[in-house]
Amino acid sequence: MAAAVVFTVLGAIGFLPLFGGPGYEQSLASGLVVPAAAAIAVAVELSNRGDIAPLECVGRGLGAGVALAGAAFVTALLHGFRVGFCDFWGGTTFFALTAAFGALMGGTWGVVVAEVCRGRRWRRACCVGFAIAGPLAGVGASVARFYGSPMIFAYDPFFGFFSGTLYDTVVDVRTGLWSYRAGSFATLVAVALFASVLARTKGGTLVLPPLRDRQAMVRAALGLCALAVSAGVTIEGPALGHWQTGSTIATQLGGRASGPRCDLIYPDSLLAQQATLLVRDCEQELGADERRLGANLDGRLTAYVFSDANQKRELMGAADTSIAKPWRREVYVQMAGFPHPVLGHEIAHVVAGSFARWPFRVGGGVLPDPGLIEGVAVATSPDDEELSGAQWARAMLDLGVLPPMKRLFSLGFLGQSAEKSYTAAGAFVAWVLEQWGSAVVRSWYGGASIETLTHRSWEELDDAFRAWLRTLVMPAEASAYARAKFERPSVWQRRCPHVVDALNRAGDRCRDEHRFARATALYDKALARDPHDWHALFDSARIEMRYGQEDRGREKLASMGADEHAPRTWRDRAQEALADDDLTHGRDARAVETYRTIAARSLDEDASRTLEVKALGAGEPSARRAIVDLLIGEPGRPLDAWFGALSMGEWAAQTRGAPLAAYLEGKNLARHEAWARAAAWLDGALDGGLPTARLGREALRERAICGCALEDGNALARVRDAVQGYDSPFVGSSGGRREWLLRFVSRCEQAVP
């Protein structure tokens, strides 16, 4: 019966996206089903038998676990043959270490339950209740750790491992999983040894052997040793990566700094001035978010800042995904430049928690509303892209991919790609803020109905929002770039996302280490699973062009650049890579034409600005060497920062501070946090007059960042006036970056002494 239940349930689950075939999701589902089924089956069977020796009972329990794990794995194999295998051996190893081991633990737990329930009046009910209680207790312990500590991942005796976040697609077999299962193995060995020591009377009662039975005493001693190993693995959990607390993470990071309202926990490798600036960043964002939402956070906010994605993944569970826990008033991010690109977004979650419901302090009614949770954060702390959130939503509307708002503000939010759902939800919440004010948003976030608060149905709100979007002025190329940005499928719709993204990440690492043959092989493996993975296609072709067979690499990039089915952004990158190759081989005119063509249509402000710099540098003999060394690299050689710095210095000296050279000097000095020196160069570039509006916009942005870092109120005021002036380089731009810059200047001015 248990095997039939397991086969039926997991067979049905296997039809869901990502659950077909051996892998993380299928292993997690099996870990939630199989151990409980094994425990129930073993407990019900053995509790009615008083004539079986204790060690044989343990053998029955382990055998049942193996059998039911086999039934679960058969469903994975069948679905794998149906949809194809992404990573058979990797998925099988993951299954063995999670669900299969959990099934053994479940069967063993069923043996214990059978002994507890044997002879009781409601024996079957007792068996079922206690059998399920074990796995549920494990889930409860994981939830308690999630609630009471920074960690979002979980190791568990029964289900095995939960990664914690939907948006980190690289989920692999970690070292911690091996060591955790070593502890599980020690537990099983201890149970078997103790069972071998015990005997059963004719009445079914367990009894200890006499002390003179030396063999039994040796087995008992070995059982105690195995139990000590299991306990040691549990106790040493933080060192082994099985669990963490706020204090263990703080100890491993080592650095701590505090401001009036923010506490910062950071790697002790950070310089004192960097930590001071991070604290100021936190304080300013906290104040800006509070003003935007009309709220006040009661108490202090703690920001955990990790050195990189790997350290963040090991210590709290999320790698590339930043996290906030509003009920703990904590945010978890990794190091980035000033101002931190996502710190304000995560702080917004905590501020919004001040008017949300207990226990998790997130938006929604009975169930959390992910659209509302993320929409409020996006609207409160928007990105600094060329298009505003509303303009991106308008582009989605024009493409016919803007989801209905009612679906977005529900669990349907998770069915969309992150880019689409976050952007659309943020645009809608920002519209509600402007139309009805922050009080309505706070009440909505606190659990009230938006329909009641606005006296409009969801259909009326959706229609009004779309009508407002249609009034926005849009750039000509918005739809093409929106298609590239938003039509990437969600993780649930992609083919083998975990494996493909892991291969791409490994390929990128090999590429950066100049192991080009290995990188190309990894990209080829990714393409074998997803032939339309544009990242792998582009990097593989670019490596071949620069370090292998140039003609064949150029041919692949040219095909990608002309492919109407490729996203516009990847087509642009392919064409830019070809232009870079033209420039390094002396085909300057063709390179400049390509750079200018892409820059004229692109809505990626940063990419377009770089293209303009390349085009300007290619047309000026004194600048050409500096541009190649700084942004491209010579053929057959990777980009080298030392060569770039040397050539930049020579160029700046030759031109005596020409605006373009001064801008590049200032921008790169700011990137290295030499704020005062960067400010002087940027002032020279702005005074001299930069050749394009995009360069002017970026120079003002970088000058504002320097002014904020230096607490220079006069510089901030000059930037604000320049942004709002009649001759501003922002005149005629889409407005997203202008809005961000004015918000940033305002938050910095609020904090200047």
For 597-647, what is each residue's pLDDT tens digit?
Answer: 999 988 889 999 999 999 999 888 888 999 999 999 988 888 888 898 898
Looking at per-residue pLDDT, the higher value among 494 and 507 belongs to 507
| pLDDT at residue 486 in the model | 81
Residue 253 · residue 266 · CB < 8 Å: yes
pLDDT digits (tens, 9 = 90+) for 563-578: 988 988 999 999 999 9
Mean pLDDT of 122-126: 90
Judged against a pLDDT cut of 80, whether residue 526 lies above it is answered with yes
| pLDDT at residue 189 in the model | 97
Whole-angstrom distance, CA of residue 481 vs CA of residue 483: 5
| pLDDT at residue 393 in the model | 94
Residues linked to residue 364 through DSSP beta bridges, in sequence order: 368
Sign of CA dihedral 455, 460, 465, 471: negative
pLDDT band of 694, cuts 50, 70, 90: very high
Mean pLDDT of 249-253: 97
Residue 708 · residue 714 · CB < 8 Å: no
For residue 58, give both structure tokens: 């343990």
Judged against a pLDDT cut of 90, whether residue 440 lies above it is answered with yes
pLDDT digits (tens, 9 = 90+) for 84-116: 999 999 999 999 999 999 999 999 999 999 999
Judged against a pLDDT cut of 80, whether residue 661 lies above it is answered with yes
What percent of the chain lies above the pLDDT cut of 90?
78
**In this structure, which amino acid lies at residue 165?**
T
Residue 394 · residue 344 · CB < 8 Å: no
- Count H helices, E strands: the chain? 35, 9
Judged against a pLDDT cut of 90, whether residue 201 lies above it is answered with no
Residue 560 · residue 574 · CB < 8 Å: yes
For residue 362, give both structure tokens: 């997130």
Looking at per-residue pLDDT, the higher value among 604 and 6 belongs to 6
Q: What is the largest CA-CA distance in the chain?
A: 101
Q: Mean pLDDT for the chain?
A: 93
CB neighbourhood size of 680 (10 A): 15
Residue 118 · residue 47 · CB < 8 Å: yes
What percent of the chain lies above the pLDDT cut of 70?
100
Sort strands 301-306 and 262-267 into parallel, antiparallel or unpaired. Answer: parallel
Whole-angstrom distance, CA of residue 384 vs CA of residue 701: 10
Contacts for 241 with CB less than 8 Å, ≥ 6 apart: 174, 175, 176, 179, 314
Whole-angstrom distance, CA of residue 165 vs CA of residue 319: 9
| pLDDT at residue 613 in the model | 95
Judged against a pLDDT cut of 90, whether residue 479 lies above it is answered with no
CA proximity to 61, closest of 84, 79, 43, 85: 43
For residue 568, give both structure tokens: 């516009």
| Kind and range of the H or E run holding 19 | none
**In this structure, which amino acid lies at residue 349?**
H
Judged against a pLDDT cut of 90, whether residue 422 lies above it is answered with yes
| pLDDT at residue 48 in the model | 86
For residue 35, give both structure tokens: 């151990």
648 burial level (CB within 10 Å; 0-12, 13-18, 19+): buried
Mean pLDDT of 705-718: 96
Looking at per-residue pLDDT, the higher value among 153 and 386 belongs to 153
Q: How remote is the C-alpha of 193 from its chain's centroid?
A: 44
Sort strands 330-334 and 301-306 into parallel, antiparallel or unpaired. Answer: parallel
Judged against a pLDDT cut of 90, whether residue 580 lies above it is answered with yes
